[in-house]
A and B are shown apart, each in its own frame.
Chain A
Amino acid sequence: MSLTTAGALPGGTYDVTVVGAGVVGSAVARELARLPLRIALVDAADDVGDGTSKANTAILHTGFDAVPGSLEARLVRDGQRMLAAYAAESGIPVEPLGALLVAWDEEQRAALPGLADKAVRNGYRAARLAPAEEVRAREPELGPGVLGALDVPGESVICPWTTTLAYATQAVRAGVDLHLNCPVTGVAPGDPHTVATGRGVLRTRYLVNAAGLYADRIDRLLGHAEFTVTPRRGQLIVFDELARGLVRHILLPVPGALGKGVLVSPTVYGKVVLGPTAEDLDDKTATGSTAEGIALLREKGRRILPALLDEEVTAVYAGLRAATEHEDYAIRSHPARRYVAVGGIRSTGLTASMAIAAHVVELLAEGGLPTAGARDLEPVRMPNLGEAFPRPYRDAAMIASDPEYGRIVCHCERVTRGEIRDALAGTVPPGSPDGLRRRTRARAGRCQGFHCGAAVRALFEEARR
């Protein structure tokens, strides 16, 4: 097993190289790791899941509202079951809260029966209409004017950081080479393909393009132009844990002419998220928040859950969805080229990731990739970041066996020195303090480092020496 972050890449020829170690690329690499092949997973960033995968609404979707018959609908539906099972096995926190699509005006209420029918066409039969009184009883803090809701009990929230990390960890442990800080700058198609990277040349017989926002560029390097990625920015506001008691379900908006709209949802970390905005941009690096975006979210949030606006904010962030001109996922196989492009994986990519991976490996097999000799992978057990599940600081047996699990470093999030030590020594260790935050929650809380920032930085730098 190997992970490299600098220096020349290993020689020889990989059987398959996956470009992009986001949630989709990591899932593909994990699926490929089952085969007796030489696999590489490369990413331009210093960590896995550092692009779209780290900044989203973190919902495990049922796919009730997908376009019936689309590839996305199928992969989300299958992926939801696969990831739910994988999460249970791997310790990825998932909270099955259920969603309410709340109607605030007559037009929205009128749209609910259609959404219920669409859910059935997507194979989801548990959605039902809920009258206003019921909605109010189940969500007492909702603002005035609720007319009803569509109740979707199967929707859950999940930890996106642990999901990507679990895939990558399992892949690396099973023998996949993970190369970080390794941007792909050119591809000379051939047999093998010659992939130019910021760290030298890599040769590979098969290529999977899971480069997210940059998937169209990679596609063009291979001479294709099947889609163009238009980054769609979603700004989000995360409210403090003390706001968690205000909301019990994922409060989804009823989609209208102007898109999907703004939701309010608990997070698995015990906080409350408000967002996202939807802004089509042409800059793939524009992950900044804006005054207008924040103001818009606050205005929407005030209507949905008025008391939320009085709570402290712990984070404001923005993610970019890899939207394309196509309604559906743009997954394209080019068997003659031994190349699969995985484009246009938008907000449902986290949910669908395992099903996308299985689909991609099927496409590779159709293109001639030998898939005999598949084996089961060693299970992974990830440290729990979820607030609804046992955490080390409360675990008497764990602290008794190792007092470092009783030494809280980040007090807002109750992250112990033992957890930070474990993350720094992990199979895929963090490349930055932000990466450490995504593995432990250290510094993710209300004080944002006022109390613990220097201590966390010291632990990170000590481990890197």
Chain B
Amino acid sequence: MNRAVDVLVVGAGPAGLALAAGLAAAGAGRVEVLERDEHAGGIPRQCHHGGFGRAGALGDPGALADLLGLGAYGATARLRRQAERGRPDSALGLRGPAYARRAVAAAVAAGAVVRTGVCATGWAGPLSLETTGPAGPERITARVVVLATGARERPRSARLVPGSRPAGVLTTGELQQSVHLYGQSVGRRAVVVGAEPVARHAVRTLRRSGAEVVAMLTGHRRATALPGVPLLTATTVAELRGRGRLSGVAVRHEDGRSGLLACDTVVFTGDWIPDHELARRGGIALDAGTRGPSVDGAFRTATPGVFAVGNALRGVERAATAAAEGAAATGPVLARLAGAPWPEPGARLDVRAPLAWVTPNRIVEPAVRPLLLRSGEPLDHPVVTASQDGRPLWRRRFPGPVSPSRSLRLSPGWTARVDPSGGPVVLSLG
């Protein structure tokens, strides 16, 4: 069957839903959101912890602002620190599932059509997607297509961890779904690989399921420990052992020491990659750093009529950040629907190691929102510089430590000095 809509959003997570809500409320015509899962809401559905914005009714302006990502990140640093010290999650406002339900309700209330159990499987034309669902295959053509396909953690295989292939090897995503959505048991003694915030959520989920967490380990030289969990830094997984079921994880410290952690479960956390299959199948240009679609400050990809928002752009930022991007894309999508031309690609933004990526990845016109810059390594007081064709554009010292699990926000003023028709803009340290 062939159908036409005005805007087709792929992915009903925080970013896709916020955008659909904004577009539908602005009278953008038929706005349809496709969700391949049986339920809309995205990753927050499986995150049974707080930190997803202020509680409150939909009508509460503060809550709505959070939902659409218009406010700052919902939980303040002070509240997060309290949570680390054992304060209940409720101190952080909404938990993931409640946040997800509210985001879905807001999009539907605004007039967007959210279709679950429908998977976009490929492209039938430049702005035409092939889909499959229980009602059969379809071809849906839109005036604007938005990729809000989110991200996933790289599993053990993609990290090339050697050893046997026993049961008991998970990512946080699978762990959270197993425990929170399916009530499955996951094991008794677990090792968590990674020490980013998502790893700490994995530890809490494991404990809630009744498992003992034997250790957390990270290749980085420093990380934040959780009370009661041994933290091994500068340590990598050398091998998985066990036949049938995992029996242990062999680890190696960077100084050469090695050991074996006896466990029946290992959770590989973090190491995010955008779910970019649809983008690649559609020939949408990707950014080398993020592996997500390359976009300009208005979330335009290099393909006319195709936008990309949220964690599809680079791996994981907080739900509020993804939702803020969805909300912020509303204006540019409306402009496109009104006939705005698709600009030339502009100047590329590149990063130099140890910086890992930056979004947006191109400058067509002066950016109006902060840029997100991620380092691949922990840094202290980094000085970040931007230059184009050897010409310095901007330089700033960031106070304090910078973690590889959190982005630096660069205020956008300096992007006015970028020559959109010039060479790549290089962001580096020093």
Contacts and interface: CB of A to CB of B under 8 A. Distances in A.
A285 B119 CA distance: 40
A69 to B, nearest CB: 39
A411 to B, nearest CB: 5
A461 B178 CA distance: 13
A394 B152 CA distance: 25
B177 interface: yes
A47 to B, nearest CB: 12
A450 B171 contact: yes
A285 B165 CA distance: 12
A455 B132 contact: no
B121 A451 contact: no
A412 B121 CA distance: 10
A407 B38 CA distance: 9
Interface stretch (B89-97, B156-164, B212-220, B332-340): B156-164
B32 interface: no
A450 B162 contact: no
A16 B168 CA distance: 39
B170 A453 contact: yes
A288 interface: yes
A269 to B, nearest CB: 15
A316 B133 contact: no
B277 interface: yes
A451 B162 contact: no
A385 B118 CA distance: 21
B167 to A, nearest CB: 7
B243 interface: yes
A454 B182 contact: yes
Contacts of A455: 177, 182
B155 interface: yes
B173 interface: yes
Contacts of A312: 154, 158, 273
B238 A450 contact: no
A313 interface: yes
A414 interface: yes
Which of B167, B177, B238, B241 counts the most A-chain CB atoms under 10 A from its CB? B177
Contact of B163 (A289, A314, A412): A289
Contact of A403 (B134, B170, B239): B134
Nearest to A448: B155
Contacts of B174: 449-450, 453-454
B72 to A, nearest CB: 29
B181 interface: yes
B157 A315 contact: yes
Interface string A308-322: 000011111100000
A290 interface: yes
Contacts of A343: none
Interface residues of B, number: 42
Given A312-B273, A450-B171, A285 B243 contact: yes
**Of residues A290, A291, A294, which shows the largest number of chain B Cβ atoms within 10 Å of its Cβ?**
A291
Given A399-B136, A408-B119, A448-B171, A454 B164 contact: no
Contact of A394 (B117, B137, B157, B177): B137
Interface in B215-249: 238-241, 243
Contacts of B241: 288
B136 A451 contact: no
Nearest to A400: B136
B178 A457 contact: yes
Contacts of A276: none
Contacts of B36: 408, 411
A294 B238 CA distance: 12
B134 A399 contact: yes
Contacts of B243: 285
A396 B277 CA distance: 23
Contact of B157 (A400, A406, A448): A448
B170 A449 contact: yes
B153 interface: yes
Q: Contact size class for A?
A: 35 or more
Contacts of A291: 162, 238-239
Contacts of A393: 119, 121, 132, 137
Contact of A451 (B135, B152, B165, B240): B152
B152 A406 contact: no
B273 A289 contact: no
Given A285-B243, A288-B164, A449-B155, A406 B135 contact: yes
Nearest to A398: B136
B82 interface: no
Contacts of A408: 36, 117, 119, 132
Nearest to A287: B164
B280 interface: yes
Given A449-B155, A453-B177, A458-B182, A406 B136 contact: yes
A430 interface: no
B162 A406 contact: no
A414 B153 contact: no
Contacts of B411: none
B178 A453 contact: yes
B271 to A, nearest CB: 11
B184 interface: yes
B164 A407 contact: no
A253 interface: no
A403 B135 contact: yes
Interface in A301-351: 312-317
Contacts of A404: 134
B162 A294 contact: yes
Given A393-B132, A406-B133, A293 B162 contact: yes
Given A448-B171, A454-B178, A457-B184, A414 B121 contact: yes
Contacts of B160: 294, 313, 316
B164 A450 contact: no
A85 B413 CA distance: 68
Contacts of A446: 158, 277
A407 B158 CA distance: 27
Nearest to A395: B137
A411 B280 CA distance: 16
A255 interface: no
A433 interface: yes
A447 interface: yes
Nearest to B151: A450
Contacts of A289: 162-163
Contact of B173 (A400, A412, A451, A457): A451
A163 to B, nearest CB: 21
Interface string A421-437: 00000000000110000
Nearest to B240: A288
Interface of B: 36-37, 117, 119, 121, 132-137, 152-158, 160, 162-165, 167, 170-171, 173-174, 177-178, 181-182, 184, 238-241, 243, 273, 277, 280-281
Which A-B residue pairs are the 10 nearest by beta carbons? A448-B155, A403-B134, A454-B177, A453-B174, A450-B173, A454-B178, A288-B164, A406-B134, A450-B152, A450-B171
Interface of A: 242, 285, 287-291, 293-294, 312-317, 393-396, 399-400, 403-404, 406-408, 411-412, 414, 432-433, 446-451, 453-455, 457-458, 461
22 contacts: A288-B239, A289-B162, A293-B162, A312-B273, A317-B165, A393-B121, A393-B137, A395-B137, A399-B132, A408-B119, A432-B167, A446-B277, A447-B155, A448-B155, A448-B171, A449-B171, A450-B153, A450-B173, A451-B173, A453-B174, A454-B181, A454-B182
Given A288-B164, A288-B240, 10 more contacts: A288-B162, A293-B162, A294-B160, A317-B165, A406-B136, A408-B119, A449-B174, A450-B153, A454-B184, A457-B178
